[in-house]
Amino acid sequence: MKGKLYLIPTTLGENEPLEVMPYSVKTIVELLDHYIVENEKSARRFIKKITPKKIQSSLIMMKLDKYAKEIETRTYLDLCEQGVSIGLLSEAGVPAVADPGASMVKLAHEKGIQVVPLVGPSSILMALMASGLNGQNFAFNGYLPIDNSERKKEIKALEKLSKEKNQSQIFIETPYRNEKMFTDLKSVLSPGTLLCIAIDISLPKEFIKTYAIAHWKRQSLDLHKRPAIFIIQK
């Protein structure tokens, strides 16, 4: 019998794992010794936090970061074909959504390996839930262009698409560029367009507000180096 690929969520910050995810995640982590991770140090820290008694020296970590070579990562699931189950850990939140783990999930399906998603915090879905914007029709657009003029064009295009399709448009930015994104949104979007900004989701300093751009223009907000989700709807 083949092993399974478990998609294991992690916290979105330094809070306790069992504050934001069910006990079943702890149970699975206790059973597994093989993991595919982006960062070994943070993965070990999470595992120690959720299962303090687990022996760290028994853990085998396979790295899936921007330096990982496909010829190597394609062998990571060979153990599953030998009957060993593996955990796929995200750096923050759920694996395989805006996350390199998607390539492992795709490979698992190609190999006929059962994929088991576990419940945990997703900043994208939690932001949408709390936004009051269209949760029936929405699109996640990832990161917008870094180039200033290209980013502004994309913001305007997403606003137009939102109106045409009655669709919430979700996107993210590298935390140190959040302030610039906020400035661009206020300058490019129409006064009546709704913007939700969700910061530090599930953490003690969580902030989630939805206002029209005309209102946001009168607001100051500390976004610097704080994980944020942006959602617009016209």
Residue position matching structure tokens 């783990």: 101
Tokens of 49: 């936090």
Contact 34, 63 (CB under 8 A): no
Q: What is the pLDDT of residues 147-203, one digit of tens each?
A: 999 999 999 999 999 999 999 999 999 999 999 999 999 999 999 999 999 999 999
The pair phi, psi for residue 119, each rounded to 5°, is -75, 135
Under the banding of pLDDT at 50, 70 and 90, the label for residue 54 is very high
For every residue of 20-82, DSSP letters joined together read: HS-HHHHHHHHH--EEEES-HHHHHHHHHHH-TTS-GGG-EEEE-STT--HHHHTTTTHHHHT
Under the banding of pLDDT at 50, 70 and 90, the label for residue 120 is very high
**Residue 65: per-residue pLDDT:** 87
Nearest partner of 80 among 109, 38, 44, judged by Cα: 109
pTM above 0.75, yes or no: yes
Give the separation between CA 145 and CA 148, rounded to whole angstroms.
8
Sign of CA dihedral 161, 167, 172, 173: positive
Contact 62, 34 (CB under 8 A): yes
Give the separation between CA 127 and CA 130, rounded to whole angstroms.
5
Helices (H), the chain: 17-20, 23-31, 40-50, 70-73, 78-81, 102-110, 123-131, 148-165, 178-188, 213-216
Give residue limits of the domains in the chain: 5-117, 123-233
Fold entry, domain 123-233: 3.30.950
Buried b (16+ CB within 10 A) or exposed e, 50-82: bbeebeeeebebbbbeeebeeeebeebbebbee
Share of the chain above pLDDT 90, in %: 92
**Residue 66: per-residue pLDDT:** 83
**Residue 8: per-residue pLDDT:** 97
Give the separation between CA 161 and CA 44, rounded to whole angstroms.
42
Q: What is the pLDDT of residues 64-76, one digit of tens each?
A: 988 888 889 999 9
**Residue 214: per-residue pLDDT:** 97
Neighbours of 187 (CB within 10 A): 11
Class (C level, CATH) for 5-117: alpha beta
For residues 59-85, average pLDDT: 93
Under the banding of pLDDT at 50, 70 and 90, the label for residue 128 is very high
